[in-house]
Amino acid sequence: MSGAASDGYDSLPAEAVLQDGVGSPDGFQRLWMPHRMAYIKGEGKPASAADASECPFCRIPTLSDADGLIVARGILVYTVLNLYPYNGGHVLVCPYRHVADYTELDGPETAELADHVKRSMTALRAASGAQGFNIGMNMGGVAGAGIAAHLHQHVVPRWGGDSNFMPVVGHTKVLPQLLADTRKLLADAWPTARAADDGVGGARTT
């Protein structure tokens, strides 16, 4: 429209463009998301448990908190937003050390990972009023681990009614907030006032 401010859609056609091809129309709408192909093809996943050079969980701590979507950094583990969240605020707690299996963690790593899970719950309740959580690990590709070479624990906040028409029928998650904004909210709500003599690190950088 002449004189109107650009809304970012100026390059789109005014009317739908029909794609030539074959197929039988049905009652479904299609939401094309080509950026998901990187996830489907496994881009950025290490080839093996021994290959830390291409592991995203090893690379993320080298980035700034904002660029890596890191919520909090500990001494032995860190907490990061999931790039493909089930719900807004879905975080992953990861050891810095490149290990694939939970039994490979030593005592201090196990303790700090558990502490970061508890702090994640506290931050999510404070920042978004989470009513419940799904917490767990997928050990191995056959168990559903997206990146099996570097273990990570999921903390997924839940609210009543979050499994509605869109994810159940539409297979689409509607996320009300950008990841960068969610990261800042959780980082600001991250509890750091735990006693220093409990042997668990809680330091973070922003």
pLDDT classification of 102: cutoffs 50, 70, 90: very high
What is the average pLDDT across 71-86? 92
Q: What is the mean pLDDT of the chain?
A: 76
Q: Residue 105's pLDDT is what?
A: 97
Q: Which residue has the higher pLDDT, 6 or 149?
A: 149
pLDDT classification of 86: cutoffs 50, 70, 90: confident
Q: Which residue has the higher pLDDT, 58 or 25?
A: 58
DSSP code, position 34: G
- Is pLDDT above 50 for 171? no
Q: What is the pLDDT of residues 105-143, one digit of tens each?
A: 999 999 999 999 999 999 999 998 999 999 999 998 888
- How far is the C-alpha of 142 from the C-alpha of 35, rounded, in Å? 24
- Is pLDDT above 50 for 192? yes
Residue 45 tokens, joined: 């996943």
Contacts of 189 (CB under 8 A, 6+ apart): 122, 123, 124, 126, 127
What is the average pLDDT across 61-89? 92
Q: Residue 145's pLDDT is what?
A: 82
The active-site residue, picked from 150, 152, 154, 171, is: 152
Beta strands, E only, the chain: 70-73, 77-81, 91-95, 132-136, 153-158
From residue 47, give the alpha-carbon distance in Å to each of 15, 36, 93: 45, 20, 21
Phi, psi of 122 (to 5 degrees): -65, -45
Q: Residue 72, SS3? A: strand
Measured between its terminal Cα atoms, the distance across the chain in Å is 43
pLDDT classification of 6: cutoffs 50, 70, 90: very low
Q: pTM of this prediction?
A: 0.68
Beta-carbon count within 10 A of 183 CB: 22
Q: Residue 109's pLDDT is what?
A: 98
Q: Which residue has the higher pLDDT, 129 or 164?
A: 129
For domain 46-186, give the fold: HIT family, subunit A (3.30.428)
Q: Quick check: is 152 catalytic?
A: yes
Q: Residue 143's pLDDT is what?
A: 86
- Is pLDDT above 70 for 65? yes
Locus of tokens 């990861």: 94
